[in-house]
Amino acid sequence: MRHRVRDGSSLASILRLTQAESAAFAGTGVAFPLAITPYYASLLDPDNPDQPLRRSVVPTIHETLRAQGELDDPLAEEADEPVPGLVHRYPDRVLLLATESCSVYCRYCTRSRLVGRGHAAGETHGEPVRYRRWEAALQYIAAHPEIRDVLVSGGDPLTLSDDSIEWLLSRIRAIGHVEIIRLGTKVPAVLPMRITPRLVSIIRRYHPVWMSLHVTHPDELTSDMGRACECLADAGIPLGSQTVLLSGVNDSVPVLKQLFQKLLTMRVRPYYLYQCDPIPGSAHFRTSVATGLEIIRGLRGHTTGYAVPNYVIDAPGGGGKIPLQPDYCVGRDDDELILENYQGRTFTYPDPKVHA
Ligand SMILES: *Cc1c(COP(=O)(O)O)cnc(C)c1O
């Protein structure tokens, strides 16, 4: 973490920056902070600015341009925070934004408004402030018996110290009505050496703990990440993945098929494919929804069902995740439903009409 690349000149010493990339650092510099771990930097192509991993972590001038419909807080999370850093949107579960730091800042981050800021509300949060916030969140969870699932995310909670992680997990686990704890992280992909035997032994004490791993492209699935996933899976932590659909990075069937199939070999079940949220300066990353639907159509039936995640749009304005599916139901003929299979062949199913 201490050796991360944090500014334009360090970046220029390891990559041949294009004009669009160096322009991002001109003037007042990047609005959304830069951080790349040495490990992740080692995966970047110094000469190819179009390399998917490089595009997802190296800023360009495009991220300074705000397009129509882009919002600082597109998911309106702040409207659903009963206490700072705790989002209660769904009936039985909450999202705890445990930290504002990540080891690497993805340029398309849905929480670019708050992560890595380093100001009063940012990653320089002193320990006392952080613990005070956590206490308030824990009090809220304890007072709401309908909360049976606590999703700890951020920022990236695995950038916290072992002691902080243990404190938080033990306090959540002590609340009787919390059935499952989930951790959302990109650490196995960007800082796999953080998955130490000690960390794993802490997490497994608070089972059932599930983990969602943020992954973007098959080039991230190195042997180092494979070892990290092996440690986590061997500790009985069910692993899922979340991927943001990104133009020119992973928006094709071959790339995503390879990503999802390879995740299964690492015992990670693809969970969500997200339509990219309209954060400020994200137009160059966003695809059409039709592209996402065609990708799902290109996966479903063509490969293992486990390799097909749920494609969702997290609705701007705070509507939550809305699933999108290609329509395989192509019509109705009296008591028969007309269906299309993955090959485009037509079949019928005897589906009685519902009588009032
Ligand atoms: C994504 C999300 C969750 C978890 O949703 P699941 O569909 O249960 O994985 C919970 N709270 C918020 C605010 C979320 O954005």
pLDDT for position 181 = 98
207 and 226, same domain (yes or no): yes
Q: pTM above the 0.85 mark?
A: yes
Active-site residue flag, 314: yes
In this model, does residue 127 exceed pLDDT 90? no
Give the residue whose CA is nearest to atom 7 of ligand 1.
Answer: 321
| Residue 97, ligand 1, Cβ within 6 A | no
Residue that is written with structure tokens 């494979």 in the block:
226
pLDDT at residue 125 in the model: 60
102 in active site: yes
pLDDT at 124: 52
Is 138 within a domain? yes
Whether residue 218 sits in one domain with residue 154: yes
Residue 15 inside a domain? The answer is no
Distance of CA 104 to the CA centre of its chain: 12
Within-domain flag for 31: no
CA of 22 to the centre of ligand 1 (A): 36
262 and 195 within one domain: yes
In a domain, 13, yes or no: no
pLDDT digits (tens, 9 = 90+) for 132-190: 999 999 999 999 999 999 999 999 999 999 999 999 999 999 999 999 999 999 999 99
> Is 223 inside any structural domain?
yes
Is residue 117 in contact with ligand 1, taking CB distance under 6 Å? Answer: no
Q: Residue 126: pLDDT above 90?
A: no
Q: Are residues 73 and 84 in the same domain?
A: yes
Instruction: For residue 312, give the ligand 1 atom closest to its CA.
Output: 7
72 & 147 share domain: yes
Considering the candidates 4, 106, 224, 297, report the single residue annotated as catalytic.
Answer: 106
For residue 113, give the CATH number of its domain.
3.20.20.70
Q: Is 351 a catalytic residue?
A: no
| pLDDT tens-place string over residues 10-61 | 999 999 999 999 999 987 777 789 999 999 999 999 999 999 999 999 999 9
- Are 167 and 194 within one domain? yes
- Average pLDDT for 283-297: 97
Q: Which member of 40, 54, 102, 251 is catalytic? A: 102
DSSP H helical ranges for the chain: 8-14, 19-23, 38-41, 52-57, 127-142, 162-173, 187-190, 197-203, 223-234, 253-265, 289-299
Residues 6+ apart with CB under 8 A from 31: 63, 64
- Cα 115 to ligand 1 centre (Å): 18
The domain in which residue 345 lies consists of 326-356
CA of 313 to the centre of ligand 1 (A): 12
pLDDT value of residue 118: 57
The mean pLDDT value for 91-113 works out to 96
Instruction: Look at residue 298 in the predicted model and tell me its pLDDT.
Output: 98
Number of domains in the chain: 2
Ligand 1 pocket, 342 CB below 6 A? no
Buried b (16+ CB within 10 A) or exposed e, 196-206: eeebbebbeeb
Is there a catalytic annotation at residue 204? no
Inside any domain, residue 5? no
Question: Which DSSP string do the residues of 105-163 spell out, in sequence order?
Answer: --TT-TTTTTTT--STTTTT--HHHHHHHHHHHHHHHHT-TT--EEEEESS-GGGS-HH
Query: 275-289: per-residue pLDDT in tens?
Result: 999 999 999 999 999
Q: Which of 30-39, 117-126, 250-259, 329-338 has the highest mean pLDDT?
A: 250-259
106-123 pLDDT, tens digit each: 999 999 988 887 543 344
Q: Within this chain, do residues 100 and 166 fall inside the same structural domain, yes or no?
A: yes
Task: Output the CA 7–ligand 1 centroid distance in Å.
Answer: 33
For residue 89 and ligand 1, the question of a CB distance below 6 A is answered with yes
Q: Are residues 151 and 274 in the same domain?
A: yes
Is the domain of 216 the same as that of 288?
yes
Ligand 1: which of 86, 87, 93, 274 to mutate, judged by most atoms within 8 Å of the beta carbon? 93
**Is the domain of 258 the same as that of 309?**
yes
pLDDT at 119: 43
Task: Please tell me whether residues 310 and 337 are part of one structural domain.
Answer: no
Q: What does pLDDT average to over the chain?
A: 94
By the 8 A CB rule, do 273 and 326 touch?
Answer: no
Residue 315 has pLDDT above 60, yes or no: yes
| Residue 227 covered by a domain | yes
- The pLDDT value given to residue 218: 98
User: Does residue 353 carry a catalytic annotation?
Assistant: no
Q: Which two tokens stand for residue 71?
A: 């919002």
Contact 289, 324 (CB under 8 A): yes
Same domain, yes or no: 77 and 200: yes
* pLDDT at position 120: 35
- For the stretch 206-231, pLDDT in tens is 999 999 999 999 999 999 999 999 99
Residue 249 lies in a domain: yes
